[in-house]
Amino acid sequence: MTMKKNKVAHNRVASICHEIAREIYEQNAKNNEFFRLNGDADLFVRNVAPYVRPIARRILATMMRDPLVTEEHKRELYDAFMLDGVIGETADLN
């Protein structure tokens, strides 16, 4: 997987990345060998979160297509994508 490790994600994207990484840790920590190698949950989450950014972006993109999500919330998601560098200012939401 290729990515720029020094690129900072928008806080909404970063938050989802951390949630995903935390869930990965919690599910795998049940395995004694995994836990022995990765005992520090916070360190694991910080190291893994940047690699799950594409998943977080897909989650947010799916929310933008959800008819139950308000237009105001979709605008916030759009802004998060722009600030995260995923889309440019000329992108069309429709």
Q: Is residue 40 part of a domain?
A: yes
Residue 77, pLDDT score: 86
Alpha-carbon dihedral angle through residues 3, 8, 12, 13, given to the nearest 10 degrees: 0
Mean pLDDT value across residues 30-40: 92
Number of folded domains that form the chain: 1
Q: Is residue 42 part of a domain?
A: yes
Q: CA-to-CA distance for 56 and 58, rounded, in angstroms?
A: 5
Q: Is residue 91 part of a domain?
A: no
Q: Is residue 3 part of a domain?
A: no
Residue 4 class from Cβ within 10 Å (0-12 exposed, 13-18 middle, 19+ buried)? exposed
**Is pLDDT above 50 for 93?**
no
* Domain housing 48: 11-84
> CB 5: neighbour CB atoms within 10 A?
6
Q: Is residue 94 part of a domain?
A: no
Q: Is residue 30 part of a domain?
A: yes
Mean pLDDT value across residues 56-72: 91
Q: Is residue 64 part of a domain?
A: yes
